[in-house]
Amino acid sequence: MSKQGKMNKVTTSVIRTMKKNGEKITMLTAYDYSTAAAMDEAGIDMILIGDSLAMVVLGYDSTLPVTMEDMLHHTKAVSRAVKRAMVIGDMPFMSYQASVEEAVRNAGRFMKEAGAHGVKLEGGREVAEVTRRISSAGIPVMAHLGLTPQSVHQLGGYKVQGKEAIAATRIKEDAKILQDNGAFSLVLEAVPASLAAEITDSLDIPTIGIGAGVNCDGQVLVVNDMLGLFEKFTPKFVKKYANLNVDMKKAIEQYLSEVREGSFPGPEHSF
């Protein structure tokens, strides 16, 4: 928990101060009211309604099909639960690439309609102008470099990025460009820990790592991965803090057999 105190709302300036003070920033994804409430009560700093929604909740094979309407629907549910954490809406594929005007309008929808406190978008120097324009509209922008899942077809799969010197240099340059264009923080996904550490040291804005080693200013995981709810595949960087899929199946099986044998509902559940 941040030293800023449990009930103080987390804002961009709190996040910046945490980096300055060397306090680690905590972030998880959430897509629904109950999960977001549990995270907020536990004292999490930031909650991301990730476009991972597409894969871990909606069952698509990639993040590409998820729509603005899907993202807004789930961001609204999370916002209703959260009292303290900073809520970040993830801009879905093709909501910010076609034009700067459309990007600003869509970012605005996350704030106006869904109660988000900021947005995240993927990409490097190619989204510098979009980052600058959304930020100058008063909307905090979280940047995202390294493995950017919306570009999976261009990247040729979900692979570690920045292993070669040229690629590493480009990511470092992009990080600085995005900071200079107003990003308030930066997600680094699936990059070597040494590269993430170097970028973290070189920036004033905090880095949030996922598969980027321990030296980032904060960490994020997809909640369905870390709770063991999503079993289709588990990236190497995920630590499972629970096995809820196993517990869920056990509970469902017990319910089925109690209904079938007539032991549920008991008198205590009846009127």
Residues that bind ligand KIV (CB under 6 A): 29, 48, 50-52, 90, 187, 210, 220, 222
Q: Identify which of 16, 139, 36 has the alpha carbon closest to the alpha carbon of residue 85.
A: 36
Tell me if 211 sits within 8 A of 221, measured CB to CB: no
Helix axes 128-136, 100-112, angle to 10 degrees: 40
- What would the DSSP string read from start to end of the chain? --TT-SSSPP-HHHHHHHHHTTPPEEEEE--SHHHHHHHHHHT-SEEEE-TTHHHHTS--SSSTT--HHHHHHHHHHHHHH-SSSEEEEEPPTTSSSS-HHHHHHHHHHHHHTT--SEEEEEBSGGGHHHHHHHHHTT--EEEEEES-GGGHHHHTSS-----SHHHHHHHHHHHHHHHHTT-SEEEEES--HHHHHHHHHH-SSPEEEESS-TTSSEEEE-HHHHTT---S---TT---S--HHHHHHHHHHHHHHHHHHT-SS-GGG--
Nearest approach, Cβ of residue 63 and ligand KIV (Å): 6
Q: Tokens for 88? A: 């970040």
User: Residue of minimal CB distance from ligand KIV?
Assistant: 50
In the bound state with ligand KIV, the residue whose beta carbon lies nearer, of 69 and 268, is 69
CA quadruple 40, 222, 52, 211: dihedral positive or negative?
A: positive
Nearest approach, Cβ of residue 160 and ligand KIV (Å): 14
In the bound state with ligand KIV, the residue whose beta carbon lies nearer, of 51 and 70, is 51
Nearest approach, Cβ of residue 257 and ligand KIV (Å): 36
Nearest approach, Cβ of residue 222 and ligand KIV (Å): 5
In the bound state with ligand KIV, the residue whose beta carbon lies nearer, of 153 and 269, is 153
In the bound state with ligand KIV, the residue whose beta carbon lies nearer, of 147 and 168, is 147
Nearest approach, Cβ of residue 48 and ligand KIV (Å): 6
Whether 268 is catalytic: no
Q: Among 69, 122, 164, 189, which one carries the catalytic annotation?
A: 189
In the bound state with ligand KIV, the residue whose beta carbon lies nearer, of 81 and 121, is 121
In the bound state with ligand KIV, the residue whose beta carbon lies nearer, of 90 and 174, is 90
Nearest approach, Cβ of residue 12 and ligand KIV (Å): 18
Tell me which residues are annotated as active site: 189
